[in-house]
Homo-oligomer: A and B are copies of this chain.
Amino acid sequence: MTAEAEQLAGRILKGERRALSRAVTLVESTRADHRAAATALLEVLRKHKRQALRIGLSGPPGVGKSTFVEAFGMMLVKAGVRIAVLAVDPSSARSGGSILGDKTRMDRLSRVASAFIRPSPSMRHPGGVSRRTREAVALCEAAGFDVVLIETVGVGQSETMVAGMCDLFVLLLAPAGGDELQGVKRGIMESADLILVNKADGDLKPAATRTLADYAGALRLLRKRPQDPKGFPKALPISALELHGLDQAWAEMQALAAWRKAKGHWNVRRAGQAIHWFEEEVRAGLLARLKDDARVKRTMAAHGAAVAAEKISPDAAAAEMLAWLKG
């Protein structure tokens, strides 16, 4: 560990936002020396065992996630709760990032000293998104934030990924016309601890009430999970615009987190997630060897050429290759 990294660790632990920003940039880098520095930094910070409440937030485009995060974040800040917001944008690999790309969408929150907002980086290596996010979460925890909110759009794999690294998972939805469940995947419904039906205001109020009843019904159909106290998972109406229901939503989150801590579910869940990410990293590392090791790559290419020339079947070639990798 270099003196520079040690100094950075110290500044992060003191809660300096600029140091935190620099560290997040470091974990986002794929340069080998940055990777090594990031790993060393995280190892130092890990020993301090600081924990935040990790809240995963997802919902389809257009439900008002930015408005919610701004309003919810400002409410926490006023209550003296320090909040960090991280975004995971699955589309950023192509589009160069859209969520939080424009900080003006969270105009007030982004200017508050006790809040930290980090847009989704443009990801050239989609496989690295989960590690980068987990590391950024760890950095925010070390910097002493009370809440780390991880926001993502409800499409693709990113939702499952975020659900796999948070202490509680919130699904934000808009009032709908009684049609299908807004394309919300069943798997994600099963991950949700709290469903917030936003825009329960003005003309949309009756529709919000109906949507709420639909989702409350859907939640009752789900199998009871041991990590849920009575009444959870729960659906609530909110209006991020008129600031209705945000305090109740926060009270429910705190009650759920407290219950899970008291009953031991919190630690069990974090341990399970840690094992999951360890296994994911091993799998990713194994597969990376096929691309990164020059000798392995050459042997793969030679077998591939034999397959293309129909000298050997794909499956027989794979069996040979696997035997070679083992030996």
Q: Known: A274-B307, A275-B304, A275-B308. Contact between A313 and B43, CB under 8 A?
A: yes
Cβ A314 vs Cβ B283 within 8 A: no
A272 to chain B: closest residue by CB: B308
Contacts of A309 in B (CB 8 A): 271
Cβ A282 vs Cβ B275 within 8 A: no
| The one of B46, B282, B318 that contacts A281, using a Cβ cutoff of 8 Å | B318
When chains A and B are docked, how far (Å) is the Cα of A324 from the Cα of B218?
46
Q: Known: A286-B325, A290-B283, A313-B42. Contact between A278 and B131, CB under 8 A?
A: no
Extra 15 A-B pairs, beta carbons < 8 Å, given A134-B314, A282-B290, A282-B321: A42-B315, A43-B313, A46-B313, A131-B315, A274-B313, A278-B314, A278-B317, A278-B318, A279-B304, A281-B317, A282-B325, A285-B322, A286-B286, A286-B322, A286-B325
Q: List 21 A-B contacts (CB under 8 A).
A: A43-B313, A43-B316, A134-B314, A271-B308, A271-B309, A271-B310, A274-B307, A275-B304, A275-B308, A278-B307, A278-B315, A278-B317, A281-B319, A282-B300, A282-B325, A283-B287, A285-B318, A285-B321, A286-B287, A286-B322, A286-B325
